[in-house]
Copies of this chain bind each other. A is one copy, B any other.
């Protein structure tokens, strides 16, 4: 009895949500597509899995039997895939490192230099991820370690360590009225349209839209982008503004985009992340140590709030919108 694992994930989603409509939203597919897929799963197995009603989809007895074991199978499968990918890197002595945007800023070259010194024969393969992939491939086993902004979705199943902290600024079109100010109050930005990350990034998108700081005030989405370049263009073209680490002013300077400090907004943390499966892996742990030793600038405190000891510090994080993976979030729009 052959089935696509995607079909199994569909099944689990419907079983958990209790309705096709909600499950369809969560899976980013249309409701009719789900209807058909579930029906097909039932005919393929020759077993009725749900009883339909106006109130939703309720598991039958065999459905419950399936729902009990399928999630375990799926995590097993994901685990197997991760192991295979991992073996691929090990075989050629490559440590795969994912990162988002400018990674650890000026610290990045220091870290990889140090890693090369400690592990002769090994190579660190740096792979930039898009914002639809907030764990930079770590969750999928595409990389062994990742340099990224904390917090990020899926963080609880991984290990993380903070390298340094920097303030969140705002990026706006140069012609924007507020661009004239040297310091902008968060409250003045609340009603602006924002350039956001794609919905798949979940609440990470919310984090960079400062949803938590808005007291329920809804976010206006002016554009959705997946990479720094599109993001810069969207801002320069006036589709919206976006929060960004202060370091973005150095790494992502561009005509038409102006960066300004924001008051009333918490800082951003840069960290290194790895899989618990690599807690005892000497190579990965070496890399983590390199990050901790050389990530913070000289004299910088890993947990500290100091904006910049070695020149102005900042990086560009992804912009986001309201989380679509939590029911009840504000609606997302598209440029």
Contacts and interface: CB of A to CB of B under 8 A. Distances in A.
Contacts of A81: 1, 45
A87 B63 CA distance: 9
* Copies held by the complex: 2
B80 A70 contact: yes
Given A1-B78, A45-B84, 14 more contacts: A2-B9, A3-B4, A4-B4, A4-B5, A46-B85, A47-B84, A48-B88, A49-B84, A62-B87, A62-B88, A65-B84, A65-B86, A66-B83, A73-B77
Interface in A58-109: 60-66, 69-70, 73, 76-78, 80-81, 83-88, 90-91
A140 interface: yes
A223 B88 CA distance: 49
B73 A80 contact: yes
Contacts of A142: 46
A61 B90 contact: yes
A6 interface: yes
A90 B61 CA distance: 9
B85 A61 contact: no
Contacts of A77: 1, 3, 73
A335 to B, nearest CB: 29
Among A5, A140, A142, find the residue whose CB has the most chain B CB atoms closer than 10 A: A5
Contact of A69 (B47, B83, B88): B83
Contacts of A65: 80, 83-84, 86-87
Counting chain A residues whose Cβ lies within 8 A of the other chain, the interface size class is 35 or more
A23 to B, nearest CB: 16
A80 B88 contact: no
A154 to B, nearest CB: 14
Interface string A246-277: 00000000000000000000000000000000
Nearest to A44: B81
A87 B77 CA distance: 24
Contacts of A76: 73, 76
Among A4, A5, A65, A83, find the residue whose CB has the most chain B CB atoms closer than 10 A: A65
Contacts of A78: 1
Contacts of A61: 87-88, 90-91
B6 A45 contact: no
A13 to B, nearest CB: 13
Interface string A151-177: 000000000000000000000000000
* Nearest 3 CB-CB pairings of A with B: A2-B6, A61-B91, A62-B87
Contacts of A84: 45, 47, 49, 62-63, 65-66
Nearest to A70: B80
A9 B1 CA distance: 11
26 contacts: A1-B77, A1-B78, A1-B140, A3-B5, A4-B5, A45-B81, A45-B84, A45-B85, A47-B88, A48-B88, A60-B88, A61-B87, A61-B91, A62-B86, A62-B87, A62-B88, A62-B91, A63-B84, A65-B83, A65-B87, A66-B84, A69-B80, A70-B80, A73-B73, A73-B76, A73-B77
